Amino acid sequence: MSSTLPTGAVDERRLFAGDTGSFELPLRQLLVRLLRGPYLDGVAEPRLWQLVLDRRAEISAYVAEIFLELEVDANRKIALLSPVDLEAAHTTAIAPRRALKREETLLALRLRLLLERHAGSGTDAVISREAAREILLEHRTPGDTDDKKLEENTDASLTRLLNLKLILPTELTDEYKVSGALALALPFAGIEEIPDYIKAIERVGVDDTEEFDLETEEL
């Protein structure tokens, strides 16, 4: 059967001159939203979340063409795109991504543990600036007594995690909600692996330019 439209009819999928896309506008908007990142929060955006669930196979097929995969956490209602691990030319992430620094990584890992402790409790995992500072103080390298640097690292780490939307602002000053996206950003096979990973990072020297290639890289 011919797919030619009747004379005078308008194909609503054609959104601009030369448009050869086959997806309708809402699905295209969702793809842009996912590609822009860092993730989609289904609680905050229920309409887009339902569209992810309804069109999951099509979205997955589309992003696979550019070496990305769709990850969906149905319990936390989080969806995001992540690069596939493929050793071949021209398959790296589309945009360069800056890995997390030592303190940012340590804080993210501790927050991942906090998130796990709140799973199924019906309460949000929250972190204050003071608590974040205490975490970094706990993991400060032996002999480091530079309190000014500790304060700077605390603010810088919180800012980076905020920019990645791994923590979210709350109504209270200097208090943040830990996003459920952190569970996908740090996809450990078992939560019991995290303490050993933290210990390994603690053994890294004091050079704060050291970076760690976790999947939290800009998400």
Q: Using only C-alpha atoms, what is the Rg of the chain?
A: 21
Does 31 lie in the same domain as 108?
A: no
Instruction: Establish if 8 belongs to a structural domain.
Output: no
Q: State the DSSP code for 103.
A: H
* Site of tokens 């004379």: 7
Q: Tell me what pLDDT residue 204 has.
A: 59
Strand order in the sheet with 40-41: 40-41, 78-83, 68-73
Instruction: Establish if 6 belongs to a structural domain.
Output: no
The DSSP string of 118-149 is: HTTSSS--EEEHHHHHHHHHHTPPTT---HHH
Does 107 lie in the same domain as 44?
A: no
Q: Tell me what pLDDT residue 17 has.
A: 87
Q: Tell me what pLDDT residue 192 has.
A: 74
Q: Tell me what pLDDT residue 161 has.
A: 94
Q: State the DSSP code for 63.
A: H
CB atoms closer than 10 angstroms to residue 129: 15
Instruction: Establish if 20 belongs to a structural domain.
Output: no
- Residue 61: give the domain boundaries: 25-83
Q: Tell me what pLDDT residue 201 has.
A: 74
- Cβ pair 166, 105 in contact under 8 A: no
| Predicted TM-score (pTM) of this structure | 0.71
Query: Could you list the pLDDT tens digit for every one of the 219 residues in the chain?
Result: 444 545 444 456 778 888 888 899 999 999 999 998 888 999 889 999 999 999 999 999 999 999 999 999 998 899 999 888 888 887 776 655 567 888 998 999 999 999 988 887 888 999 999 999 999 999 888 888 889 999 999 999 999 999 999 999 999 999 999 999 988 887 775 667 778 778 877 665 544 444 555 544 344
Phi, psi of 62 (to 5 degrees): -65, -50
Residue where a domain stops, chosen among 53, 83, 113? 83
* The token pair that represents 165 in the structure block: 């939307």
Q: Count the domains in the chain.
A: 2
Does 112 lie in the same domain as 202?
A: yes
Closest C-alpha among 161, 72, 60 to residue 110: 161
